[in-house]
Every structure is written in C-alpha cells, then in structure tokens.
Amino acid sequence: MALVKYIDTDGNVTEVEMEAGETVMSLAVNNMVDGIVGECGGAQACATCHCYLDESLSKHFSARSEMEEAMLEAAPERKENSRLSCQLELHDDLPDIEVRLPSSQY
Amino acid sequence: MQQVVIIGASHAGAEAAIALRTQGWEGKILLVGDEPTLPYQRPPLSKGYFHQAVSDQQLLIKKPTLYEKAKVEVMLGESVTAIDKANRTITLASGSSLSFDYLIIATGARARKLSIPGSDLGCINYLRTLSDADKIISQVSAQSHLLVVGAGYIGLEIAASARKLGANVTVLESFPRVLSRVTNEQMSEFYQNLHAQNGVDIKLNSGVTEFRRSGERYVAVLPDGEELTFDSAVIGIGVQPNIELAELAGLVCENGIVVDNKTNTSAPDIFAIGDVSNHPNPFYQRQIRLESVPNAMEQAKVAAATICGKEKTHDAFPWFWSDQFDVKLQTAGLSQGYDSTVIRGDMAAKKFALFYLKKRKVIAVDAINSPKDFMKAKMLIPTGINIPESKLADTTSDWFE
C-alpha cells in the first residue's frame, strides 16, 4: 500500500501506510501524527486539519467544495495549495502522497 | 510502574489517553468506560449518523489499533462506583478496584429527564449515546410521526434529520422562541422559518403534560388540552453534568467539577475535563461549563501535558457548530450578556453573520453559511475587538481589515 508522508515545518517526515476508507486527516489522527488536529471530526467546521498538497497530486482527489474553499479562505497560513485533509479521501489506486503541515497546528 | 486512570471512554477520555502517550508518559494508561463501544463522536448522532451519511465505523474517534499502538488499556462496559482520593483507588461496579497515581475524570453529562405521566413509555427517548441513537432511528421511518420536546440544538438537529428520512415532525417548545438560551430573537426566527419551510411543525409556548398509549400509537397531551398523535418521541431539554462520583469523593463541585486552567480539581493529582468540568475562561472572566467537543479535546491535552510535567494552560475560545437542512451554523464565543447585535449579510439568502456586542466590544458571532466570518471571529474576538457597528454591517468591505 502507498504511503502518506506528513512533513512538518522543520522538514521532519512521518510516513504512514495508507488505508482505504481513511482520509489524510483520520490517518494522521490514528497514527499519532502531530500537526493535524481534526477537532470537528471531518465536518468542515474547524479547519484544524489544514495541509498543503502539491499541485501535481491534486488530480488524485476531489476538488475543493464551496464550503472547504470558504473555510480555507480565512485559515491561518493560507496558500494556493491549501486543503482540508479531512476532505482528502484515500483509496487503493493512489501513489505515495506528500502533505506539508502549517506551523499553526502544533 | 506509575499509572494514569481515565474515567470516561469519551471524546475527552480518548484524547487524553493518546495525548498522554504522545507527550511522553511512560507509565500505564487505563481508559475505563461504561458503554460497550470504543470512544465515538457524539455530534453526528443527531446529524450524519441519524440520516445515514456516516457509518458506525466512521464514528470511532480513534481506530481500535491505535489504542494498542499507544499501549492504552481500554476497559469497556465497566462503571466506576467510587473514588478514594486518600488511597488513590477507584472501585468498579464489578467489585474490583484500580489504583492510580493520576486520575482524569471525563464523565461528561447526561440528558435531563422529563418526569410526567407516561414519560417512561418505550417510545420516549433521550439522545446521548450510540445505543440511544440506534433506538430512536429504529423508531423513525418515512410517514411515521416523530415528536420532539425541546427546541434546542439537539432537538432541532433531530427534527431536521428525521425530515430527511421522510418522517413527519412536530417540535414542542415551552419558550416563545427556539434556541432561546443561546441566540437572539432574530436568529430564533431564522431557525423557526427554516424548519417551517422544511415541513417541521414547531409549536411555541407549548409543551407536554402527559403521554399515553393509543392503540398502536401514542398521544401527547399539550398544556392547552390539545391531543397530538405520534409514533415516537425524543426529549431534548438539556443535560446535567455527571458529578456524583466527584461529589462523593469530596471534590469541589458547582455546575460541574470545579477545575483551574490546568484542569486540576480541588484534590491533588485528580483532573476533570470535558463537559463535566467547570473551568475558568480568561476572555469572559468567569467560570463556565461547556458542552463542546473542541473544549473536551483541548482540556484533554492540557491534562496530559500537566501530568507529563509540561507547561500548558487551557485558554481556548469556545466554539460550536450545528448542521440543519442546508444551513451550517458556526458559533464563536458565548453571547450571554450582550447589549446589542448587528447582522451582516442577507438573512433571506441564508448567508449572514450575527455579531453580539457588549459595551461595544464583540463577544460572540453566529455565522450562517459564512465560514470566513466565523474563522476570523474565532481568531479575533479573544484579542478584544471594538469595531463600529456600521463597519460590521457593511458587506462591501471586510469587517476585520
């Protein structure tokens, strides 16, 4: 199974094996990865699972919904490639995925 | 080996158990819960889980394997009957006892019960646990008639979810408006209209004096004598904190277990977190008790850090959310004590923010389908903001610039 690599602001990498049915957020929460909080459990209500997804990988995931876009718009450290990791669903056909985490979630 | 015992396999309990390990606790961690299931998320019980958008596996806060990885010993279906703070032990209903070096109490709250003739009938439900939710859902179907008593968040969310399943829904509220404890008149009216548009029958200044069986169905008697036939009912008239264990052990309790900003109770090495804790809030400068997942998670981290000898203070700003029909409410702050309000945006378009002010300072916001206003408010209100009402209302420019 492919890996999700979580990279913190200091460049430290935590690699976790993907599980289908999980999201990038829930996989982090279930593997004690620091930097993804997920307070609302995936209801798009808190933006505490904010991550950066490289543009080249974005084609593997569904596009940002209007709600996700609006939540991210006001999130700290917003960038072009910001995503809510609770909306990034993992499945069997994915290659290795890298996400970078903002400093504000530590 | 030192041992931390956590009472309550809840959101707060699960978070504390894992946080202890990630923050470096090397001793044993025991998580004791009286329900048969691993800790799960309660907010979806009245929303996504109710209308079957979320499965029971998705409800789990942490996967079963994480407890193994983190070496957390989970004891389910075990209720605690006593805390002995002098001898540092707790007693279980099964008769055995557990010793602790540190104890975290995360016993949460329970639904307030209605006590009227017929309130013990099998069709009368309360929603707090997964098994409560399963029982309610099993009694709701398209064309069945669900009666909801109490128009708070839980009652209104259940009403909305039951409508999604095609049921007929009547809501009885004793106050002249819905959500009267938490919002102003305009917001109450907004939710009343939203529910009316979606076919929910809300009866205000009403209530119920008696339930009784009527053939295959049931009848509720309203205060004015009207009789209403229904198939099942949910009572949502608030919760009370589960403080009995703490009280018996001599911990200071007042509307919850009183704690400081490190989640310490009045007894050394005993902590209380989540819905059961009555804690100081630096922004509102008073003790508060919150029924809130984000608060439970934050306090869990503070308790874990404190036990691990790390410096961490609980000063998180309260926030909440509620999903009903096509409307997402996000609330930042507590509006109690406001002296004026400002609407920003278009109520009819279901996209607006309602700001609550006290002495010209913004103290809270209810954001309807307006996540950006919510996010900014959640960040800025705790810093103390005085923004002219005209600026808050002017949608041609950002209020926070």
Indicate the domain borders of chain B.
3-110+240-307, 113-235, 326-393
**Coil, strand or helix at A101:** coil
Average pLDDT over residues B35-62: 94
pLDDT higher than threshold 90 for residue B401: no
Contact map slice: B 47-86 vs A, CB within 8 A: 48, 57, 61-63, 65-66, 69-70
Output b/e per residue, A70-104; b: 16+ Cβ within 10 A.
Answer: bbbebbeeeeeebbbbbbbbbeeebeebbbbbbee
Enumerate the residues of chain B whose CB falls inside 8 A of the CB of residue A30: 62-63, 65-66
Q: How far is A93 from chain B (nearest CA, A)?
A: 21
pLDDT of B189 strictly over 90 = yes
Sign of CA dihedral B57, B62, B64, B65: positive
Q: Which residues of chain A lie closer than 8 angstroms to B326, CB-CB?
A: none
Q: Using the predicted structure, report yes or no on whether residue B370 has a pLDDT greater than 90.
A: yes
Rounded to whole angstroms, the Cα distance separating B114 from B120 reads: 9
Quick one: tokens of B73? Answer: 């010993």
Q: Which two tokens stand for residue B131?
A: 């098994």
Q: What percent of chain B has pLDDT over 90?
A: 98
- Residues B113-235: name the CATH superfamily: FAD/NAD(P)-binding domain (3.50.50.60)
Pick A3-105's CATH classification: 3.40.50.720, 3.10.20.600, 3.20.20.70, 3.10.20.30.
3.10.20.30
Backbone angles phi, psi at B157, to 5 degrees: -65, -40
- Tell me whether residues B321 and A29 touch, CB distance under 8 A: no
Question: In B357-370, which positions are buried (b, 16+ CB within 10 angstroms) versus exposed (e)?
Answer: beeeebbbbbbbbb
> Of all residues in chain A, what percent are helix, strand and coil, respectively (each to 5)?
25, 20, 55
The residues spanned by each domain of chain A are: 3-105
**B72 phi, psi to nearest 5 deg:** -105, 125
| CATH code of domain B326-393 | 3.30.390.30
Q: Residue B172's pLDDT is what?
A: 98
Q: Please tell me if the domain spanning B3-110+240-307 has the same topology as the one spanning B113-235.
A: yes
Task: Measure CB to CB from residue A41 to each of B43, B319, B374 and give the nearest one.
Answer: B43
Classify residue A13 by burial, with Cβ atoms within 10 Å: 0-12, 13-18, 19+: exposed
**pLDDT digit string (tens) for chain A, length 106 residues:** 899 999 999 999 999 999 988 999 999 999 999 899 999 999 999 999 999 999 999 999 999 999 999 999 989 899 999 999 999 999 999 999 999 999 988 7
Q: Which two tokens stand for residue A21?
A: 């049915």
Q: Is B237's pLDDT higher than 90?
A: yes
**Is B297's Cβ below 8 Å from some Cβ in A?**
yes
d(CA B278, CA B281): 10
Residue B253 CA to residue B259 CA, distance in Å, equals 9
Tell me the average pLDDT across B98-126: 98
According to CATH, the topology of domain B3-110+240-307 is FAD/NAD(P)-binding domain (3.50.50)
User: DSSP secondary structure string, B219-240?
Assistant: EEE-TTS-EEEESEEEE---EE
Phi, psi at B227, each rounded to 5°: -115, 135
Burial group, residue B156, by CB count within 10 angstroms (0-12, 13-18, 19+): buried
Contacts of B302 in chain A (CB under 8 A): none
Q: Residue B375 and residue A47: Cβ atoms within 8 Å?
A: yes
Identify the residue among A40, A65, A66, A105 best suited for mutation to test binding to B, counting B beta carbons within 10 A and taking the highest.
A40
Of B21, B41, B375, the CB nearest to A74: B375
